[in-house]
Amino acid sequence: MTLPRKRWLAVGAAATLFLAGCAGGTTGGTTGGTDGGEGKPAAISQADIDKAMKTPTELTFWTWLPDIDKEVALFEKKYPAISVKVVNAGNSQAEYTKLRTALKAGSGAPDVVQLEYQHIPGFAITDSLLDLRPYGAEALKERFVDWAWGQVSGRNGEVWAIPQDTGPMGMLYRKDIFDKHGIQPPKTWDEFAAAARKLHAADPGVYLTNFPTNHNSIWTGLMWQAGVKPFQMKGADQVSVDVAGETSKKLASYWSGLVKEGVVSTDADFSDQWFQALNKGRYATWLTAAWGPLFLSTSAKETRGKWRVAPLPQWTAGEQKSGNWGGSTSAVVKMTKNPIAAAKFAEFLNTDPESARMLTTLQFLYPPTKALLSDPGFVEQKSDFYGGQQVNKVFADISGTVPTDFTWLPFMDQINNDWNETVGKSLADKTDTAAGLDKWQQTITTYAEKQGFKVAR
């Protein structure tokens, strides 16, 4: 209750925005106007690009990656005329809030910005991102795994960003706990359920896994794996929302069943509790993404050597499918005054071989480029934390099994938040998760309609 003044500050900030907005934000840039056929902007000539890359320019780059200036230095070495100012504007949501503020104000936005895949449509629909096709981005398509490229592509073929990292999902498991109880790494979700019951019966202090109810990342990843297409843009103002269909209900009855039986815990993840629980062996598996293994090795040091990696269990035996959790991109903000330099920086950062490799070794990102995913120097690394297993190899194989047609809607913040209060709440409270799904469907529909969209199921 310490905030009598907070509200004033907020409206004060809003007023500043308004005043700045009145001053009129003219968007710089040389794009737009000319039409390259089928609504596609004309390509920029190589001569223009060469000229821009030799003109002294300062770019601003917002990112939350630590030590990214090492990769930036590579770019500046290649293009000495251009200097890049790296600004850490906060992690994901914090950065997006600042970006929206700057966009509304018409000034103060960066040239290049780190965006997660699922937030691209939200910025694309407000016309805030630069279509990178005129800058030669289409030629990069073949370098990236299909499903990552699909996430940065617009409905009319626009290229809104360059993929930076991905998070194909797999399963990390405690080999020591499995061995102790004679459990084989489950290959199907049925085996997984049986193992969950067996393990918890044998040792009530241990759960086969924890299903966090504080965010829907895992849920969304599992929908993705199961082949659900919950969020689709059907037209400029038409969306389809399908989060409570038959397959989603199957997911709901599966997970709420395990939770109600008490054989799977529902602790909030990335909390103090959760870190301690990982270290103390409360969870025998962690359903996570390709960035998970390195994260775990630094946050659960006490369990070194006890973990192994496997693909996610499957709904149908013999199949291989996965989903994605997380990962981000580099996008160019449309109001940039230096679109060519900005677009080339986004491209260089994520496709230059040395820079792309550095992203995996310095920032521990999991790559979306086919080159790295088939590079023995990357996939054949052995990790002591995982008993010498080739962790990257396992995830490189998984990366090829992620369905390519999963897309997002322009208001994922709201959708994600609503999940906590409907599906997540029903799991945590052990109530009817199918009803929670219906409620989620309904809240998303209500919000979308209020925003002026026509909603189909």
Partner 1 sequence: MSVMTVPPSRRASARRDRVGYLFVAPFLIVFVAMLVAPLAYAGYLSLFREQLIGGVRFAGLDNYIQALSDERLLDGVLRVSRFFLVQVPIMLGLALLFALALDSGAMWLSRVIRLGIFVPYAVPGVIAALMWSYLYGPQFGPITQLAEALGLPAPDLLSSDLMLGSVANIVTWEFTGYNMIILYAALRAIPTELYEAAAVDGAGAWRIAWSVKIPALRPALLMALIFSVIGSFQLFNEPALLQRLAPNVIDSAYTPNLYTYSLAFVSQDVNYAAAVSFLLGLVIVVVSYTVQLAVARRRR
- DSSP strand E in 408-453: where? none
Among 27, 92, 188, 451, binds partner 1 (CB under 8 A): 451
**How far is C-alpha 412 from the chain's CA centre?**
11
Length of the chain in terms of residues written: 457
Which of 378/447 has CB closer to partner 1?
Answer: 447
Residue pair 407/213 in contact by the 8 Å Cβ criterion: no
**Site residues (CB under 8 A) for partner 1, limited to 120-139:** 125-126
**Which of 125, 85, 76, 126 minimizes the C-alpha distance to 108?**
85
The answer to whether residue 156 forms part of the interface with partner 1 (CB under 8 A) is no
Nearest to 283 by CA among 223, 292, 291, 323: 292
- Tell the burial category of 400 from Cβ atoms under 10 Å away from its Cβ (0-12, 13-18, 19+): middle
- Selected range binding partner 1 among 58-66, 308-316, 339-347, 446-454, rule: CB under 8 A: 446-454
Q: Is 102 in the site for partner 1 (CB under 8 A)?
A: no
Nearest approach, Cβ of residue 54 and partner 1 (Å): 40
Closest approach of Cβ 103 to partner 1, in Å?
12
Q: Which of 88, 190, 425, 432 binds partner 1 (CB under 8 A)?
A: 425
Tokens of 357: 């490799």
Q: What is the distance of C-alpha 332 from the center of its chain?
A: 17
Shortest distance, position 238 Cβ to partner 1, whole Å: 9
Q: Cβ of residue 426: shortest distance to partner 1, in angstroms?
A: 9
Distance in Å, CB of 146 to partner 1, minimum: 28
DSSP per-residue letters across 72-115? HHHHHHHSTTEEEEEE---SHHHHHHHHHHHHHHTSS--SEEEE
User: Would you say 34 or 271 has its CB closer to partner 1?
Assistant: 271
- As measured in angstroms, the least distance from the Cβ of 447 to partner 1 is 7
Pick the piece of the chain touching partner 1 (CB under 8 A) from 268-276, 283-291, 319-327, 338-346.
268-276
Q: Which member of 271, 299, 320, 446 binds partner 1 (CB under 8 A)?
A: 271
- 440 touches partner 1 (CB under 8 A): no
Is residue 428 within the footprint of partner 1 (CB under 8 A)? yes
Instruction: Please report how the helices 217-225 and 246-261 are oriented relative to each other, as an axis angle in degrees rounded to 10.
Output: 130
How far apart are the C-alpha atoms of 456 and 146, rounded to whole Å? 27
Report strand pairing: 112-116 vs 307-311. unpaired
CB of 272 to partner 1, least distance (A): 6
DSSP assignment of 226-245, as one string?
Answer: TT---EEEEETTEEEE-SSS
Which of 232/414 has CB closer to partner 1?
A: 414
Task: Compute φ and ψ for 173, nearest 5 degrees.
Answer: -135, 155
At closest approach, how far in Å is the CB of 433 from partner 1? 12
For the chain, the farthest-separated pair of C-alpha atoms sits apart, in whole angstroms, at 70
Minimum CB distance to partner 1 smaller for 21 or for 388: 21
Alpha helix segments (H runs only) across 1-157:
6-22, 46-54, 69-78, 92-105, 120-125, 146-152
* Nearer to partner 1 among residue 2 and residue 298 (C-beta): 2
User: Which residues, 31 to 90, sit near partner 1 by CB under 8 A?
Assistant: none
> Within 187-226, which residues bind partner 1 (CB under 8 A)?
213-215
- Which of 289, 355, 424, 438 is the binder for partner 1 (CB under 8 A)? 424
Query: Position 135: which residue type?
Result: Y
Q: Would you say 158 or 418 has its CB closer to partner 1?
A: 418
CB of 207 to partner 1, least distance (A): 11
- Both ends of the chain: CA-CA distance in Å? 42
| Residue 92 near partner 1 by CB under 8 A | no
CB environment 316-326: b (16+ within 10 A), e (fewer): eeeeebbbbbb
Between 88 and 414, whose beta carbon lies closer to partner 1?
A: 414
Which of positions 383-422 make contact with partner 1 (CB under 8 A)? 410-411, 413-414, 417, 420-421
The site for partner 1 (CB under 8 A) is made up of 1-4, 6-8, 10-12, 14-15, 18, 93, 97, 100, 125-126, 213-215, 236-237, 267-268, 271-273, 276-277, 282, 410-411, 413-414, 417, 420-421, 424-425, 427-429, 447, 450-453
